[in-house]
Chains A and B, each alone.
Chain A
Amino acid sequence: MRSIVRQLAVSLALFWVVLTLTFVLIRAAPGDPVSFLAPPTATAPELARLRASLDLDAPLVVQYGRWARDILEGDLGTSFVARRPVTRVLGDAIPISLWLGSISLLLTFVIGVVVGGVQGARRGTHLDSALTLVTTTVYAAPSFWLALSLIALFTYGAARLGLPPWLRLPAFGVRDPAGGSGIAELVRHAVLPVLTLTLIGAAGIARYARTSAVELLQLQWVRTAVAKGAPARAVHAKHVLANALPTLLILFALALPGVLAGSVFVETVFGWPGVGRLMVSSIFARDYPVVVGATVVYAAIVILANLAADLALPLVDPRRRV
């Protein structure tokens, strides 16, 4: 119980340090957001008024104090560009990202663990080396390159190869501007982004999972069961899987940041209006509050996932209960 409280406290402290770091980083950078927001014809008094209205003229310590108080009240400020509360802007983008991310994360995890598990069980065979070459190559490809090649394949390629019309997949946005909303439309637009994220993520996870599977298969009681003549399926189901849960938890925590980072590029390439694309466009617009907001969201997800994995590990692994 005490260790749970301690872990919670550490996570909260970590989160606060990350927040402060982002604040300092953003304020320390050169470049004045006001010069981006105001039209070139703006006069000096107008610029000063804009600066004051954005709370950029106060001393840094005062700004930090106000900012910390606002954060504690759940207020992340107002977007310079959208002129709406950052929480609202993020609130619009987060579900769209979650939709894409959670499907990809699930597929990433399942496919990665299955491929890695099969490789571990068939270690040293041709299947194993072939799969290793595939996963290592996909893992080496940048997500935006993979995204662009899928677009090329299903647009340029589909036209040249004479693929049927339903295989000519949309390369941009979440629905066609000519109408058509519905869930089918959304799914059609999600195929390529989900495919990209899943390929990259699953390739990475398969590499970890293979290593873990090899280690698990070499455990003494597993080898004993095999030596006693237990059928392979029974050994895998009873002895290996039971010991694999902690490893799977760690793998899940490892899968998450990859999908998050990949989503920045995938959302940008596919025009998917989620947090990743919001972050990139806000960076170019110097929309500080939104950049901070998006960073906060990413940090919170990673910290929460690690905390959850730490708290869940003793539940599935009696050896870790102290």
Chain B
Amino acid sequence: MTAFWRRAGWQTRAAMLVLVALALGALLVPALASASPTAIGDALALRLLPPLSVDTAHHFHLLGTDAFGRDLFVRAMLAGRLSLAVGIAGSVLAGAVGIAIGAIGGWEGGVLDRIAMGAGDVLLAIPRLVILLVCAALWPPGATMVITILVLTGWMGVARLVRGEVRGLRARPFIESAQAMGASPTRVLWKHVLPNAIAPAIVAMALGVGSAVLLESGLSFLGLGIQPPSPSWGNMIADGRELIVLAPWIALAPGLALILTVLSCTLLGDALRDRLAGDELETMRARS
């Protein structure tokens, strides 16, 4: 990790710092804030304050307040808890499923491999958003639901990458020698194949966090994801939609946190890819 930091450019360092700051902010700010981000106080005095304003009680509002007088910065940080958790869980779990399917399929081949790759082709033929929309609409919405469908629709890219790597490794001399020395197939796969096949999957997962956060916010924006009163960046933007002409900061402020997150994940993923190599277009296609 320190080696990665030392060799990283300023953009990558900034991306890592932003992600750490956002995570800390999401954890700490709602707990330390003077007013609760969900409770409604003196709505008439506090509502629709623009960014950088000070209210009658001398509280400073960095991003302004919404139609109920709640501070948007504190709310955006609270929303970050759910949005970041869903994004990371969705991408990492999808990556884990993808690695398992890709590794087993690439190693064993045969019918199972064909079924898994066929299923992947089918899922890739429908835009991911459409599957997400249909599923999110049919089952009761919520964070668990969003993570589940992110995993169900997100494993294919990683599976393909890992499968390709594993198939390429299968005939390499050091694998054969491990087998010849009597290592069990599980041990060979776990100790010799996976460590050499996993690099592109890690890149895809880092980039995947960004797209998972984006998809979650999209679903929540449409009212099919995380439901109010729990704030998520998507449903906060939806909250501000009605007032976009009068008080545009309500919709736009949470988007800044969202864009910073996705941008940082993308920069970090790009930097990881440059370090870990791997075919560029393949990785990009795997994530879209």
Contacts and interface: CB of A to CB of B under 8 A. Distances in A.
A254 B259 contact: no
Interface in B197-251: 210, 214, 217-218, 221-224, 234, 237, 240-241, 244-246, 248, 251
A149 B266 contact: no
Interface in B3-23: 11
Interface of chain B, helix or strand or loop or mixed? helix
A261 B252 contact: no
A281 to B, nearest CB: 10
B285 interface: yes
A148 B237 contact: yes
Contacts of B234: 142
A291 B126 CA distance: 13
Contacts of B259: 137, 140-141, 145
A190 interface: no
B180 interface: no
Interface residues of A, number: 57
B137 interface: yes
B100 interface: no
B144 interface: no
Contacts, number: 139
Interface string B22-38: 00000000000000000
Interface string A92-135: 00000000000000000000000000000000000000000100
B262 to A, nearest CB: 4
Nearest to B264: A140
Contact of A25 (B138, B210, B288): B138
A142 B267 CA distance: 17
Interface residues of B, number: 47
Nearest to B280: A211
B126 A149 contact: no
Interface string A286-303: 100001001100110011
Contacts of B246: 156
B128 A211 contact: no
Nearest to A260: B127
Given A142-B217, A148-B252, A302 B284 contact: no
Q: Which of B137, B139, B237, B241 has the most CB of A within 10 A?
A: B137
A172 to B, nearest CB: 11
A25 B125 contact: no
B248 A145 contact: no
Q: Which of A15, A260, A299 has the most CB of B within 10 A?
A: A299
B266 A140 contact: yes
B44 interface: no
B122 A14 contact: yes
B237 A18 contact: no
A279 B281 contact: no
Contacts of B221: 142, 144, 265
6 contacts: A25-B134, A142-B218, A156-B245, A250-B281, A284-B137, A299-B130
Given A14-B121, A18-B122, A264-B129, 7 more contacts: A18-B126, A142-B234, A144-B221, A145-B252, A149-B252, A254-B288, A261-B129
